[in-house]
Amino acid sequence: MMKRATTLTGHQIFDRAAAGLATILRGGSRRTMHQLSADYSHPHGAGVIGAGADGLLRAVLVEALTARPGSIEVLMPQDDLLRLFGDLAHRVPREQLDEVLRVADSLEDTIEYVEEAASAGLGSALKGQQILWIATPRADADVVYRTLQGCSGTAVTGLFNGLWPYGPTHVVEEDGPRPRPQRPVRLVTAPQAIVRLDAATASRM
């Protein structure tokens, strides 16, 4: 039986997402920390695969960006932003999120950023802020892993698209992760993510 969600147009998804998400954000019920990314994190990094992998990464990204201002910085290459949002990438309110969203030109640039932060001392350099590192390492997984090893293990969370040879790889189906987590995880489409980010940035103005 075909799921009804698959028949929705982009405008319908926007309308439905806006109705629920804007109310939640106005009510101030945003989480103060990036709980969802913590659920899937590992000291050596973690990977996500499966039909719902991008949906989970969007959910993690949106939760982090709408957390308590200044508590976390999301770091990702431009290619991953484009993969997660596709034609809607230009709708991500990057200017309003410039203090918490750092989009680098390449994976190599994100590696250099984490290395510089680590060498400067993560605690003092980030002033208590944590980094959520989203990327697609592929052949550079060994370099990414060594970079994570150079960190204290408390300030950088690596959540990567694809198989991750140095830590757990989570399987995420279209309807959510396997095995089922203790609390429900709602995967996020690109239109839903944009609506939520717009609502969050509007509430801070």
Give the DSSP letter string of 55-122: HHHHHHHHHHHTSSTTSEEEEEEHHHHHHHHGGGGGGS-TTTTTTTEEEESSHHHHHHHHHHHHHH-H
Position of tokens 């709980």?
35
Residue 128, pLDDT score: 58
Q: For residue 43, name the pLDDT band (cuts at 50, 70, 90).
A: confident
**Structural domains in the chain, sorted by start:** 33-188 (3.40.50)
Torsion angles phi and psi, residue 23, rounded to 5: -65, -45
Average pLDDT, the chain: 79
| Confidence class for position 204, pLDDT limits 50, 70, 90 | low
The 10s digit of each residue's pLDDT in 100-137 is 999 999 999 999 999 888 877 654 444 556 899 999 99
Q: Which are the contacts of 116, defined by CB distance < 8 A and separation ≥ 6?
A: 125
pTM: 0.78
